[in-house]
Amino acid sequence: MLDILIIGGGLAGLINAIHLSKAGLQVKVIEKNAYPKHKVCGEYISNEVLPYLNYLGIDPFAEGAVAIDQFSLSTVNGKEINTHLPLGGFGISRYTLDHILYRKALEEGCTIEQEIVTNIDFSNDFFTTTTRNGAQYFSKFVIGAFGKRSNIDVHYQRAFIQQKAPFLGVKGHYLGDFPDNLVALHNFKGGYCGVSKVENNRINICYLTDYKAFKKYRNIKIFQEEVLFKNPHLKALFAQVQPLFEAPLTISQVSFSPKKTIKNHILMSGDAAGMIHPLCGNGMGMAIHSALLLSQALIRFFEGNSADRLNLESVYTKQWETTFRKRLIAGRIFNTTFKSDRIFELGLSGLLLFPKLLPFFIEQTHGKTLSVGN
C-alpha cells in the first residue's frame, strides 16, 4: 500500500511528490502525458516561491531562467504605464520547469506512471485508484493535482463543472526583440496578453480571451489581426517576432469559479483546489504554495502529529483559505476592471497620476516570500 498517490504530474503534483518523497514517504504520481511537454501558460513565476524551490533542490536559473523585475501595462488604445515589480520573478518555460521537477521527483525515489486515472474509490479508510488500462493502485491518501479541468472533475460532477467556463488560452514561443527583465500585460477587447522572456532567448506570448470575443472569427490569425492588433503595442510586437511553434497551443473551457479543497477525501492541490486569474501572474506561485501547505499537513499526519484524516482535511482547508482568500478576491476585482475598456482606461489614467499605486495593487495578488519554516 502506497502512502500517497498523486493524480497529475504538473507543477503542484510534482512539488508534492518531491517534498513528500524527501520526507521518506512512499509516493507515486500518475500523469497522462509524457515529459517534456509545452503547456499554455504565461511562464512568469513570482520570486515568492524561489527559496522553497531551492529548498527542494531546484535552481531554475541553472536551467536558463531569466530574472524579471519590470512590469508594463497597456490599455486597448496603447496607453501604457511602467513600474518596478515589488518582489520580481523569473521566466522559464513549462517544458523545462516540469521536466526538471519530473527528474527531481524520480531522484527522490518517487515512481511516475504515464496513465490516465478514470476512477477513485474510497472505502475502509484507503483509496483504490483505477486507470484507463485497468491498473489499480492502493494508497492511504490521494492528492488531486489534475489541474484546471480534468475528466475526474467531470466524473465527480464537481460544482464548477456545471458553471460556464468561457475562456480560451493561446500561447506560442517566438524569437525577436524584447527586454529580458520585463513582463508586459497588454489589454485587448475581450482579453489580455502577457509577454515575457523564458530560457534560450525565447519570447513567450500568451493570451486569454473571452470565448465570445473569439467566436466571431474562429481563426487565431484573423482574431489576432482584427482584435489584438488594435493595441499598437501588440501590433508592433507581432510584426517583428518569428514563431517557433508550427501553430500556437490552445486550451478552452478555462474556469475561475471557486472550488473545494476536498472531494470524497481526495486532497486537492494546485489549480484543482482553486485558480487565480492568469492576469495576476501568480497561478504557478499559488500551485507551488498549496503543494507546500498540503505536504506539510501530510508529513504532520504521518509523524503522528495530526489527530486523524478529518482533522488533516479541516486543517488544510482552513490554511488554504486563509492563505489565498485575499489574493483570489483581488484577482476577481482586477479581472472585472480589465473586462470594461472604459473602466480600465480610467483606472490607468488614475495610475499615471499616482504610479506608486500599481506596485501596491500587484502586492494584493501575491504573498510573502516562502520558506519551509513558515
Ligand X SMILES: Cc1cc2nc3c(=O)[nH]c(=O)nc-3n(C[C@H](O)[C@H](O)[C@H](O)COP(=O)(O)OP(=O)(O)OC[C@H]3O[C@@H](n4cnc5c(N)ncnc54)[C@H](O)[C@@H]3O)c2cc1C
Q: Is 271 in the site for ligand X (CB under 6 A)?
A: yes
Task: Restricting to residues 208-247, name those near ligand X by CB under 6 A.
Answer: 208
Q: Does 367 bind ligand X (CB under 6 A)?
A: no
Q: Which stretch binds ligand X (CB under 6 A): 42-50, 217-225, 322-330, 344-352?
A: 42-50
Q: Which of residues 92-131 bind ligand X (CB under 6 A)?
A: 116-117
Interface with ligand X, residue 328, by CB under 6 A: no
Q: Is the distance from CB of 294 to CB of 270 less than 8 angstroms?
A: no
- Residue 154 CB burial class (10 angstroms; 0-12, 13-18, ≥19): exposed
Distance CA 291, CA 193 (A): 27
- Which of positions 172-201 make contact with ligand X (CB under 6 A)? 194
**One of 3, 31, 48, 199 touching ligand X (CB under 6 A):** 31
Does the protein bind ligand X through residue 42 (CB under 6 A)? yes
Taking Cα atoms as reference points, which of 329, 301, 317 lies closest to residue 20?
301
Q: How far is the CB of 349 from ligand X (least distance, A)?
A: 26
DSSP type of residue 369: P
The only residue of 278, 331, 347, 367 in contact with ligand X, by rule CB under 6 A: 278
In the bound complex, what is the minimum distance in angstroms from residue 302's beta carbon to ligand X? 22
Among 1, 24, 33, 307, binds ligand X (CB under 6 A): 33
Buried b (16+ CB within 10 A) or exposed e, 2-22: bbbbbbbbbbbbbbbbbbbbb
Q: Does residue 358 belong to the site contacting ligand X (CB under 6 A)?
A: no
Dist CA 319 CA 207 (whole Å): 31
Binding to ligand X by residue 48, rule CB under 6 A? no
Measure the N-to-C terminal CA separation of the chain; round to a whole number of Å: 31
For 350, residues 6+ apart whose C-beta sits below 8 A from its C-beta are: 357
CB neighbours of residue 245 within 10 Å: 11
Does residue 145 belong to the site contacting ligand X (CB under 6 A)? Answer: yes
Q: Which is nearer to ligand X, 42 or 347 (CB)?
A: 42
Q: Please identify the residue of the shown chain whose CB is closest to the bound ligand X.
A: 10
Neighbours of 342 (CB within 10 A): 8
7, 246 contact by CB (below 8 A): no
Other Cβ atoms less than 10 A from the Cβ of 213: the count is 16
Which residue from 71, 137, 146, 192 is in contact with ligand X, where contact means CB under 6 A?
A: 146
Q: Judged by CB under 6 A, which stretch of 80-88, 157-165, 274-282, 314-322 contacts ligand X?
A: 274-282
> Total number of residues binding ligand X (CB under 6 A)?
42
Q: Where along the sequence are the contacts to ligand X (CB under 6 A)?
A: 7-13, 30-33, 40-45, 116-117, 145-148, 150-152, 169, 194, 206, 208, 254, 270-272, 275, 278, 281-285, 287
